[in-house]
């Protein structure tokens, strides 16, 4: 039950009326109280105390009224909170039921997923077994194929060796036949000469008037001189026509040089040019030559220049106080240093330089020995056609501007350029006097102009090249 404290209660009004009446009564009795002043003084103090008590009572009543209103507000709030609690409880109950339902569904899904996972694991294990078996089978097949390939390669290599051996035997046979034919021709010539001598002797005997002494035999005919032809074996040893093995071939038995150029001094006028040059670009090349010099340095052997670059291909040497190497230049400024000290003793030495653009490799041989080799040298580069090739001088421009300190001094014999990379066996064969391999593009037979004091000597064998 709510109480309204906004208006004062009736008893409070009655109390106020009593107080007013009392005040009026007190006013009427003022005159009497003047006579009795101490009494009224006490009464005044009591009245003051009553007034204070009244104010204090009103203040406390107001506080009580406010507290009562606050308590009623608290009840209302409690009721509202209780209602909210009931609503929240209902909501939580609904959420719990939904959560339980979802948990049940998740449990069923988890069970299904576990079953599916087991199935997948079984399939994966089966696939792994199958893959392992196939891998083993593939490895076995690959191994068998590798063995078959190696066997096939070995068979092919054996056949190649047999073919090369047959080819070499055929070449040797042809050489032997050629030499036998030359020997037969020479013997026919000698027989014809002997027959002519015999005829002349018979005629002289018939015309002679001097009798022959009975105790003296007629002079014996001069014996037929036979030419001794030495056949060279593949290993570099010489054999006589009867098949007897002789000592290794000497320098004079090397007869594949054809001709020689002699450079007497270091002059800018001493150089040779070719009647033909490179008509196609080179991706591979081999340069071989016999070299002999009595100088303390090795000058420029060859120089190939084009309009856009004067150092497309150069074997460049220079007269210095102490020379230990020359430069192999392919497409300036790329070069490699090659040692030349073994060449500076005044004797003949066989020199071979091989380069391949496909692999970017080069090889440098002196007297069949590999002196230097390397890789990553102008891989993919092409030596272009259309330039000028000069022997004995280094070109600072196309066809000219020579320097006498870079000139070659000495002898070059059997100079040849190939358009491919020769094998070590072919290099060894050239150095031991065998026939020159194929794919030759330039030799000293292609020289068109000799300048200065150069001498071109035709010498079949190296011992005649002086």
Phi, psi of 326 (to 5 degrees): -120, 165
174 three-state secondary structure:
helix
- Asked whether the predicted pLDDT for residue 252 surpasses 50, the reply is no
Of 151, 186, 211, which one is at a domain's C-terminal end? 151
Give the domain range for residue 105: 1-151
Q: Give the tens place of pLDDT for each residue, 282-296.
A: 999 999 999 999 888
Per-residue model confidence (pLDDT) at position 3: 52
Indicate whether 432 belongs to any domain. Answer: yes
Per-residue model confidence (pLDDT) at position 31: 56
Question: Same structural domain for residues 288 and 415?
Answer: yes
Q: How confident is the model at residue 153 (pLDDT cuts 50, 70, 90)?
A: confident
Indicate whether 225 belongs to any domain. Answer: no
* 340 Cβ neighbours under 8 A, 6+ residues apart: 298, 317, 323, 324, 325, 326
Structure letter (DSSP) for residue 395: -
Question: Same structural domain for residues 142 and 275?
Answer: no
Indicate whether 179 belongs to any domain. Answer: no
352 three-state secondary structure:
strand
Beta-sheet strands, E only, within 210-333: 231-232, 237-239, 245-248, 259-263, 271-274, 284-292, 302-305, 313-316, 325-330
Indicate whether 371 belongs to any domain. Answer: yes
Q: Give the tens place of pLDDT for each residue, 166-197.
A: 887 777 787 778 777 777 876 777 687 677 66
Indicate whether 352 belongs to any domain. Answer: yes
What is the rounded distance in angstroms from the CA atom of residue 275 to the CA atom of residue 388?
Answer: 10
Per-residue model confidence (pLDDT) at position 203: 57
Residue whose C-alpha is closest to residue 318's, from 414, 393, 418: 393
Of 112, 130, 151, which one is at a domain's C-terminal end? 151
Residue whose C-alpha is closest to residue 433's, from 329, 292, 290: 290
Residue whose C-alpha is closest to residue 299's, from 169, 384, 391: 391
Round the CA-based radius of gyration of the chain to a whole number and report it. Answer: 65
Taking residue 194's Cβ as centre, other Cβ atoms within 10 Å add up to 16
What is the rounded distance in angstroms from the CA atom of residue 427 to the CA atom of residue 287?
Answer: 10
Please tell me which of 18-22, 26-30, 77-81 the model is most confident about, judged by mean pLDDT: 77-81
Q: How confident is the model at residue 209 (pLDDT cuts 50, 70, 90)?
A: very low
Question: Same structural domain for residues 409 and 264?
Answer: yes
- Asked whether the predicted pLDDT for residue 239 surpasses 50, the reply is no
Indicate whether 14 belongs to any domain. Answer: yes
Question: Same structural domain for residues 143 and 259?
Answer: no
Indicate whether 171 belongs to any domain. Answer: no
Q: Are 182 and 255 in contact (CB under 8 A)?
A: no
- Look up the CATH number of the domain holding residue 374: 2.60.120.200
Counting beta carbons within 10 angstroms of the beta carbon of residue 421, is it exposed (0 to 12), middle (13 to 18) or buried (19 or more)? buried
Between residues 366 and 104, the one the model is more confident about: 366
Domain count within the chain = 2
Question: Same structural domain for residues 144 and 292?
Answer: no
- Asked whether the predicted pLDDT for residue 218 surpasses 50, the reply is no
Indicate whether 207 belongs to any domain. Answer: no
Query: pTM value?
Result: 0.48
- Asked whether the predicted pLDDT for residue 34 surpasses 80, the reply is no
Of 124, 151, 178, which one is at a domain's C-terminal end? 151
Question: Same structural domain for residues 274 and 145?
Answer: no
Per-residue model confidence (pLDDT) at position 243: 35
**Mean pLDDT, the chain, whole residue set:** 80
């Amino acid at each position: 039950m709510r109480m309204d404290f906004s208006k004062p209660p009736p008893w409070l009004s009655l109390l106020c009326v009593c107080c007013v009446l009392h005040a009026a009564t007190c006013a009427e009795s003022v005159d009497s109280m003047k006579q009795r002043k101490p009494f009224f003084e006490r009464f005044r103090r009591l009245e003051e105390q009553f007034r204070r008590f009244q104010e204090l009572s009103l203040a406390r009543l107001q506080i009580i009224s406010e507290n009562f209103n606050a308590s009623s507000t608290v009840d209302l709030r409690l009721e509202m909170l209780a209602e909210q609690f009931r609503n929240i409880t209902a909501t939580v109950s609904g959420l719990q039921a939904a959560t339980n339902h979802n948990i049940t569904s998740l449990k069923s899904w988890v069970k299904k997923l576990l079953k599916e996972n087991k199935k997948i694991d079984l399939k994966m294990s089966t696939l792994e077994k199958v893959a392992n078996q196939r891998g083993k089978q593939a490895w076995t097949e690959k191994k068998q194929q590798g063995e078959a390939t190696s066997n096939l390669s070995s068979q092919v290599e054996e056949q190649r060796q047999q073919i090369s051996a047959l080819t070499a035997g055929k070449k040797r046979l042809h050489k032997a036949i050629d030499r036998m034919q030359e020997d037969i021709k020479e013997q026919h010539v000698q027989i014809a000469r002997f027959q002519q001598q015999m005829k002349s002797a018979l005629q002289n005997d018939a015309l002679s008037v001097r009798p022959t002494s009975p105790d003296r035999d007629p002079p014996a005919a001069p014996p037929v001189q036979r030419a001794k032809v030495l056949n060279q074996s593949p290993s570099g040893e010489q054999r006589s026509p009867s098949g007897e093995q002789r000592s290794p071939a000497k320098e004079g038995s090397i007869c594949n040089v054809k001709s020689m150029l002699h450079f007497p001094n270091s002059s800018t006028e001493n150089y040779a040019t070719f009647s033909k040059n490179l008509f196609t670009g080179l991706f591979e090349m081999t340069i071989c030559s016999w070299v002999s010099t009595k100088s303390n340095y090795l000058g420029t052997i060859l120089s190939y220049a084009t309009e856009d670059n004067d150092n497309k291909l150069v074997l460049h040497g220079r007269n210095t106080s102490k020379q230990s190497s020359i430069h192999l230049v392919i497409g300036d400024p790329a070069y490699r240093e090659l040692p030349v000290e073994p060449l500076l003793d005044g004797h003949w030495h066989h020199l071979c330089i091989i380069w391949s653009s496909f692999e970017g490799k080069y090889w440098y041989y002196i007297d069949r020995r590999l002196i230097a080799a390397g890789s990553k040298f102008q891989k993919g580069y092409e030596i272009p056609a259309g330039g000028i090739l000069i022997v004995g001088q280094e070109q600072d421009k196309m066809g000219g501007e020579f320097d006498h300190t870079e000139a070659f001094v000495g002898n070059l014999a059997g100079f040849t350029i190939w358009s491919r990379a020769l094998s070590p066996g072919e290099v060894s064969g050239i150095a031991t006097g065998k026939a020159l391999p194929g794919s030759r593009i330039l030799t000293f037979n292609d020289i068109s102009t000799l300048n200065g004091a150069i001498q071109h000597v035709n010498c079949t064998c190296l011992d005649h090249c002086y």
